[in-house]
């Protein structure tokens, strides 16, 4: 059993994952509009992953017998000037998610909700991987630079990541 405060935080995380799904879809649309087919494939994979994360929260709340409260989603705005800007935005979003996960872990520990703490540990590890991946992508973009074929090579790298 968890407190109403922790239930609300878990619902916030559920909605955050749903919003992340939406943002990744909009980023994939941006990539498609800008002829980054590899980036689009990569972002669609991650959009699906975010939906899976949302469903994990849904199932966990349901298993607890806690109410599930879906909220209206704001329209995601992606107005990036470059693929690098796009991934900087994604990195910012992933960092926000990490912060919310860590807050929930602290709350679970304060309430001695060991099952919630255990559940959230998977997400903490996942966020570590997501932030690491964003850094690696940004590093690759920087390594490739801004030469005449740079967009092609960045997109090729992202296509390879999508396939992996």
Least confident span in 70-74, 125-129, 146-150: 146-150
Distance CA 74, CA 21 (A): 12
Look up residue 164 and give its DSSP letter.
-
pLDDT grade for 122, boundaries at 50, 70 and 90: very high
pLDDT grade for 144, boundaries at 50, 70 and 90: very high
Distance CA 43, CA 26 (A): 9
pLDDT at 1 over 90: no
DSSP 20-56: HHHHHHHHHHHHHHTT-HHHHHHHHHHHHHHHHHHHH
What is the pTM (predicted TM-score) of this model?
0.93
How much is the average pLDDT of 52-67? 97
Distance CA 102, CA 100 (A): 5
Buried b (16+ CB within 10 A) or exposed e, 80-92: beebbebbebbbe
- Which pLDDT score, from 0 to 100, does residue 147 have? 84
How much is the average pLDDT of 67-90? 94
């Amino acid at each position: 059993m968890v407190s109403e405060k922790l239930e609300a935080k878990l619902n916030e995380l559920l909605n955050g994952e749903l919003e992340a799904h939406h943002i990744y879809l909009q980023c994939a649309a941006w990539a498609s509009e800008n002829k980054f087919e590899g980036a689009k494939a990569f972002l669609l994979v991650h959009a699906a992953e975010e939906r899976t994360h949302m469903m994990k929260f849904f199932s966990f709340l349901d298993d607890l017998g806690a109410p599930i409260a879906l909220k209206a989603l704001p329209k995601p705005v992606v107005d990036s000037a470059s693929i690098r800007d796009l991934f900087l935005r994604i990195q910012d979003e992933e960092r926000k998610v990490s912060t919310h996960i860590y807050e929930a872990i602290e709350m679970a520990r304060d309430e001695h909700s060991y099952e919630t703490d255990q559940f959230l540990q998977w997400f903490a590890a996942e966020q570590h991987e997501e932030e690491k991946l964003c850094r690696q992508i940004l590093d690759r973009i920087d390594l490739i630079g801004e030469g005449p074929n740079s967009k092609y090579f960045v997109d090729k790298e992202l296509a390879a990541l999508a396939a992996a």
